[in-house]
């Protein structure tokens, strides 16, 4: 039994720098599903909206969301080598492991995509598990299911994510939340939801717990 905490990472936007790819795919599928694409000049405006505000502003039907998620998983498979790793992640992961923490991934992306991505960036040995769920709703249920499956202590779990949905999920699951500003949503959106920590650089992940915790 490890003596540290369990850091659970969201994938897209948190580990994988997939914002540009997601923007491209969202716009590519807009004509097919009848919603409004995001023009270049609108990107920063859209980043300042919550997930539901964003979808409403673009006219995306809730019925379309599962289809978009499926399309995104399929497209990611074809572009794994082209998706960059978030700058600084490769350096902080070994620091967290040296501190005695376990690391995992929680994602709605396909497990094979995540594993291929980690292997491509030589990070396949950095994580203890990849937990994938295709359910695009009820992220807190996925967090709780992950905790049950891997028999984690909720009081020693830290969820790392880049969206308001991640913060809501952590709060509903009763775990600590490290919200990161390098992903899909602007700092002000995340800050308004009062996560446990609000981080601007991956290196800060290794600094959030005092040494006596591990």
User: Under a CB-based contact definition with an 8 Å cutoff, are residues 132 and 110 in contact?
Assistant: yes
Question: What does the buried/exposed string (b/e) look like for 25-61 if buried means 16 or more CB atoms within 10 Å of the residue's CB?
Answer: bbeebbeebebeebeeeeeeebbebbbeebbeebebe
CA distance 102 to 5: 6
**Residue 213 pLDDT exceeds 90:** no
Range 6-17+85-213 has CATH code 3.40.50.1000: yes
Question: Which of helix, strand or coil describes residue 196?
Answer: coil
Question: What does the buried/exposed string (b/e) look like for 146-158 if buried means 16 or more CB atoms within 10 Å of the residue's CB?
Answer: bbeeeebeeebbb
191: enclosing H helix or E strand = helix 187-191
Predicted pLDDT at 136: 65
| Domain boundaries along the sequence of the chain | 6-17+85-213, 19-82
Cβ neighbour number for residue 72 with a 10 Å cutoff:
22
52-85 pLDDT, tens digit per residue, is 999 999 999 888 888 888 888 888 888 888 999 9
User: Under a CB-based contact definition with an 8 Å cutoff, are residues 167 and 51 in contact?
Assistant: no
109: DSSP letter: S
CA distance 162 to 66: 20
204: DSSP letter: G
Whose CA is closest to 176, among 198, 152, 194, 158?
158
Q: What is the pTM of this model?
A: 0.93
62: alpha, beta or left? (left if phi > 0; alpha if psi -120 to 50) = alpha
139-166 pLDDT, tens digit per residue, is 899 999 999 999 999 999 999 999 999 9
């Amino acid at each position: 039994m490890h003596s540290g905490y369990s850091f659970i990472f969201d994938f897209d936007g948190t580990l994988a720098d997939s914002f540009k790819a997601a923007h491209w795919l969202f716009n590519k599928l807009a004509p097919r599903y009848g919603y409004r694409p995001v023009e270049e000049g609108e990107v920063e405006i859209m980043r300042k909206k919550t997930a539901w505000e964003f979808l409403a502003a673009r006219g995306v039907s809730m019925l379309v969301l599962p289809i978009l998620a499926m399309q995104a998983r399929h497209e990611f498979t074809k572009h794994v080598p082209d998706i960059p790793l978030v700058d600084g992640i490769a350096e902080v992961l070994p620091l967290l492991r040296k501190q005695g923490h376990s690391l995992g991934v929680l994602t709605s992306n396909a497990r094979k995509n995540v594993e291929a991505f980690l292997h491509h960036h030589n990070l396949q040995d950095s994580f203890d598990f990849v937990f994938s769920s295709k359910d695009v709703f009820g992220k807190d249920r996925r967090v709780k299911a992950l905790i049950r499956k891997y028999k984690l202590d909720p009081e020693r779990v830290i969820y790392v994510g880049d969206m308001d949905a991640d913060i809501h999920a952590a709060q509903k699951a009763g775990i600590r939340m490290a919200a990161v500003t390098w992903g899909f949503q602007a700092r002000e959106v995340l800050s308004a939801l009062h996560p446990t920590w609000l981080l601007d650089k991956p290196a800060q992940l290794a600094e959030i717990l005092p040494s006596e915790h591990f």
